[in-house]
A and B are shown apart, each in its own frame.
Chain A
């Protein structure tokens, strides 16, 4: 008689699923995991409070950045940026062939692909500071070590993203070229690379930003650039000079990031 459906036949599902025993254990485990992480950090409220005055006095002395050594600072900032550019350029040029070997469907053999992927992952997972230490030992103190460290770091980053970009390219043009008997290199450089180009450019700009940031830190271990100045300033409690260095570094990184953002918007 009634058009209304009996309320018992189609009850909506529960708003929240009741967690099963396994899921509950998983959540509990996750909380324990984070707590365990903090237990090793030695971080405590007491420590923070005790640290405040010395932080304060440092900030106070930083408050008036010193311009005494500004020309020397700008000079090493320039060297730092040069390191970033050179390392990035070398890294990008070497990334492309490695990425091709690591790309599904372009790599000549699955074993080669595995090796290339492994190498790229290794370059990426070892931190740039470690690479800098290695190259300082290999080629000595100075910017050359920094350039090589940035190069390897860039390969680890760009190699992966280049390969992903190429995997995502349109399969149609590739098939069209294969169907006419084109060689692998022909397919790659006439269809895949042009198609992936916007992505390549975006990745390259990210690499330059990343390289600029890391080139600052690399100096701390003696791999050239402004990091050395920063370390010396801190070691001599010369906080007003340190403040100047931090500010110019900040300016450079922001500049590079902004320029990168503008260029990316233009290209994509």
Chain B
């Protein structure tokens, strides 16, 4: 394992990214997240939250600036070295992104590909005994051990998202990035998944960064709330002293930096506090 030169799990410096001249997603963005911290990211539709998470793991290359992830300079890595860095980061997507025709157990087992390759990581039927057992334990941790054999396309949205969390656990990550894991779920299932992510991260001492449009979740499941607007961090406060209703006002404010094409061209949506 690479020894980190600093204590931060994520260090983003002067990050710049645009999709075309009118779409500046990051405009000299700086952000640091300490190890073990839980951070929620809020911001209007199109503010660049998803893109930021993708930039963090090198799924999208930046135009300028640097990203250090658990001490590794992600923006300068390629191929195997990049894969090794990604392996330490669990990613949970809004759309669970599971392989729908495979069983829950097979999907969870795929998490082992973060540290090992080969046919025995492709399907539960081929897997090593200890991997199957670990995958089962991960499913159990999200309360779905009974559904191990079920095909994922026969599960509900909330169950699928929990399988995705189990796959992330199987990866044994040090850092968890979650992009609106609560978005396509009903209020109760959404809160359950968020609670599960936050609890598991805390228990295992993982760093957690999640995006949510539910202000109540952003406050309840994080230590710190970060708001993105105009390609920069426009809000950064302790969750303990924050308040969902006041956070909603963040979406009313005009973008802070002038000449900010992204936010200016998109109507800021007022997003009500979550139930």
Residues in A lying within 8 Å of B, measured CB to CB: 170, 172-173, 175-183, 185-186, 189-191, 194-195, 197-198
Contact = CB atoms under 8 A, between A and B. Distances in A.
Contact of B113 (A180, A194, A195): A180
Contact of B117 (A176, A178, A185, A195): A185
A173 B97 contact: yes
Contacts, number: 78
A175 B86 CA distance: 12
A182 B113 contact: yes
B212 interface: no
B122 A189 contact: yes
A190 B99 contact: yes
* Max chain B Cβ within 10 angstroms of own Cβ: one of A175, A181, A194: A181
B97 A176 contact: yes
Contacts of B99: 173, 190-191, 194-195
B100 interface: yes
A266 to B, nearest CB: 15
A155 B164 CA distance: 37
A80 B65 CA distance: 66
B263 interface: no
Contacts of B95: 172
Contacts of A170: 100
Which 7 pairs across A and B sit closest by C-beta, in order of nearness?
A181-B87, A181-B86, A172-B97, A181-B83, A176-B97, A182-B113, A179-B91
Q: Which of A172, A179, A197 is the most central at the interface, judged by chain B CB atoms within 10 Å of its CB? A: A179
26 contacts: A173-B98, A176-B97, A176-B98, A178-B59, A179-B86, A179-B89, A180-B90, A181-B83, A181-B85, A181-B114, A182-B110, A182-B114, A189-B122, A190-B102, A190-B113, A190-B121, A190-B122, A191-B99, A191-B110, A194-B99, A194-B101, A194-B102, A195-B99, A195-B100, A197-B101, A198-B101
A20 B117 CA distance: 61
A191 B117 CA distance: 14
Given A185-B117, A189-B122, A190-B122, A180 B97 contact: no
Given A181-B83, A183-B117, A186-B121, 4 more contacts: A181-B85, A190-B99, A190-B123, A195-B101
A173 B100 CA distance: 9
B84 interface: yes
A170 to B, nearest CB: 7
Interface string B169-191: 00100000000000000000000
Contacts of B82: 181
Contacts of B84: 181
B174 to A, nearest CB: 13
A256 to B, nearest CB: 26
B46 to A, nearest CB: 20
Contacts of B164: 176
A175 B95 CA distance: 11
Nearest to A193: B122
A230 B90 CA distance: 64
Nearest to A170: B100
Interface string B59-95: 1000000000000000000000011111101110101
Contacts of A180: 86-87, 89-91, 110-111, 113-114, 171
Contacts of A179: 57, 59, 86, 89, 91
A180 B170 CA distance: 11
B93 A186 contact: no
Given A177-B113, A179-B57, A180-B113, A186 B86 contact: no
B21 interface: no
B119 interface: yes
